[in-house]
Homo-oligomer: A and B are copies of this chain.
Amino acid sequence: MSEHFTVESNDGDARAATLETRRGPVRTPVFMPVGTQATVKAMTPAELESLGAQIILGNTYHLHVRPGEKLIARLGGLHRFMAWNRPILTDSGGYQVFSLAKLRKITPEGVRFQNHLDGSPTFIGPETSMEIQRDLGSDIVMLFDECPPHPCSHADADKSLDLTLAWAKRCRAWWDAQPAEGRPLVFGIVQGSSHADLREKSARALVDIGFDGYAVGGVSVGEPEPEMFAAVENSVPFLPKTHPRYAMGLGTPPQILEMIARGVDMFDCVLPTRLARNGTAFTAGGTLNLKNAPFAEDTSPIEEGCECYACQNFTRAYLRHLVKAEEILGLRLLSIHNLHFYLGLARQAREHILAGSFQEFRRRFVAGYKTRSDTP
């Protein structure tokens, strides 16, 4: 056990645990809705709380570019700014620097780039990323890493990993120079692309440096699903059982259960809200594209038995009408349903781990879930 992470129950490699943050406990496995620009898209904080969201994610890159962490700090921090009083995890900005920004120039100091909004020259390095996350008031800070593209040769991935590990040491040193009082949790990120030996090297090196938790990064970047599973399988055995594990940016509902089975505790993913804006709903049987004609007179809810506000009050026929008419209420109701689905999936996983029935739950769920060609 670490002082901030208590494993309550194991079921195979899956575990139910409690992560203590400075803003209270998070019960794991946990799904963290993504609040990129200081809002989980289309949702109020009150709605998120009523759906049982324990912790949300904020994006350092986006908030740095607009409205800026200094402004947010002057206004009392990100929690107060967006009126969210539960824990917030912030990413480091690394992923967005490598996926959104233009004219990147990487040096040992960090990354110079033109931001995606107005092309202004911007710099983020390991220390800057820590400062931004400190200014935002993050409860769980991620270290600043380089995110190599997929696929990536062994030589390139190794070189990138060395830079990431050098940055990891500087992030650790930056926090060690801060007052210990009220310090957030700081998580390392395992990289190494699809190369098993580099995943092991990365994980071992991070554990040597010492972090409060460990994420697996560089997954869900376009690789086939077996490679995604392999990246986690090649990382987790080298991470301490006493610390939380976080698979970044994942995934479909079956992927999340498979990751929990492999010992992952924390997840974030834009799928529930992004697909909602595209008219797609998650169900235990797979996704439904509500634009499709067969739903035009379908008086059933999205999913029978679902207790979310959308399913308790509205038919598929009505939701289809809203989606076709591009009404905001349509994507709102689908966002509510999809977040309820994802948050509930993690909650059910936890309950089954505590009851010792997780493996059977996962097997049944994955078998019943049909992945459609039009959705992930």
Contacts and interface: CB of A to CB of B under 8 A. Distances in A.
Contacts of A332: 42, 44, 328, 332
17 contacts: A37-B321, A37-B325, A38-B322, A39-B322, A39-B327, A41-B327, A41-B328, A41-B329, A42-B328, A44-B329, A67-B321, A74-B297, A75-B315, A75-B317, A75-B318, A81-B315, A83-B314
A321 B38 contact: yes
A255 to B, nearest CB: 27
A45 to B, nearest CB: 7
A196 interface: no
Contacts of A296: 67, 71
Interface of A: 37-39, 41-46, 66-67, 71, 74-75, 81-83, 296-297, 299, 309, 313-315, 317-318, 321-322, 324-325, 327-329, 331-333
In the assembly, how many copies of this chain are there?
2
Given A297-B74, A329-B43, A66 B321 contact: yes
Contact of A331 (B66, B328, B331): B328
A317 B38 CA distance: 12
Given A38-B318, A42-B332, A75-B318, 13 more contacts: A37-B322, A37-B325, A39-B327, A39-B329, A41-B329, A45-B313, A66-B325, A71-B296, A71-B297, A75-B299, A81-B315, A81-B318, A332-B332
A260 to B, nearest CB: 30
A356 B241 CA distance: 73
Nearest to A46: B309
Nearest to A65: B325
A37 B314 contact: no
Nearest to A329: B39
A83 B301 CA distance: 13
A295 to B, nearest CB: 11
A297 B81 CA distance: 10
